[in-house]
Amino acid sequence: MKKFLSLTLAMCMALSLAACGSSGSSSGSGAQSGGSAAQTEPQFDENGYMLMDESYLSMAAGSAGGGWYVMGAAMNDLFERSMNVHMTLIPGGGSTNPTLVDEGGDVQLGFTYIANAVAATEGKYDYEGAQCNNLKALACLNIRQYLGITTTADYTSVEDMVANPKSLKIAVGPRGGGNEIMLNRYLEQLGTSLDELAAQGADVQYISASEGYTAIKDGNVNTCNYQAAIPLSSLVEALASQKMSFVSLDEATAQKVADIYGYSYDYIPAGSYQYQDSDVGTLCDTVILVVNSSVDDAVAYNMAKTLAENKDALVSAHASFEALDPQVMAQCGIDLHPGAQAYYESAGLM
Q: Is the pLDDT of residue 230 over 50?
A: yes
**Residue 65 confidence (pLDDT):** 78
Q: Is the pLDDT of residue 1 over 70?
A: no
C-alpha to C-alpha distance for 150 and 224, rounded to whole angstroms? 5
pLDDT in tens, 283-302: 999 999 999 999 999 999 99
C-alpha to C-alpha distance for 137 and 128, rounded to whole angstroms? 20
Q: Other C-beta atoms within 10 Å of 2: how many?
A: 6
* CA angle in degrees (0–180, nearest 5) for 217-223-224: 85
Give yes or no for a contact between 114 and 182, defined as CB atoms under 8 angstroms apart: no
Q: Is the pLDDT of residue 207 over 70?
A: yes
Q: Are residues 172 and 231 in the same domain?
A: yes
3-state helix, strand, coil in the chain (%, to 5): 40, 20, 40
pLDDT in tens, 59-93: 999 888 788 999 999 999 999 999 999 999 999 88
How sure is the predictor about 128, in pLDDT bands with cuts at 50, 70 and 90?
Answer: very high
- Domain at 11, CATH number: 3.40.190.10
**Taking the mean position of all CA atoms in its chain, how far away is CA 247?**
24
C-alpha to C-alpha distance for 164 and 36, rounded to whole angstroms? 62
Give yes or no for a contact between 53 and 302, defined as CB atoms under 8 angstroms apart: no
**Residue 34 confidence (pLDDT):** 42
Q: Is the pLDDT of residue 18 over 70?
A: no
Q: Is the pLDDT of residue 35 over 80?
A: no
In a domain, 253, yes or no: yes
Last residue of a domain, one of 266, 285, 304: 285
Question: Distances in Å between the alpha carbon of 129 and those of 98, 119, 122?
Answer: 14, 11, 10
Q: What does the DSSP 8-state code read for residue 47?
A: T
How sure is the predictor about 95, in pLDDT bands with cuts at 50, 70 and 90?
Answer: confident
Shortest CA distance to 336 belongs to which of 287, 289, 284? Answer: 289
Number of domains observed in the structure of the chain: 2
Q: Are residues 258 and 167 in the same domain?
A: yes
Q: Are residues 208 and 334 in the same domain?
A: no
State the DSSP string of 91-150: ---TTTHHHHHHH-SS-SEEEEEHHHHHHHHHT-GGGTT---TTEEEEEEEEEEEEEEEE
Domain range for 202 is 146-285
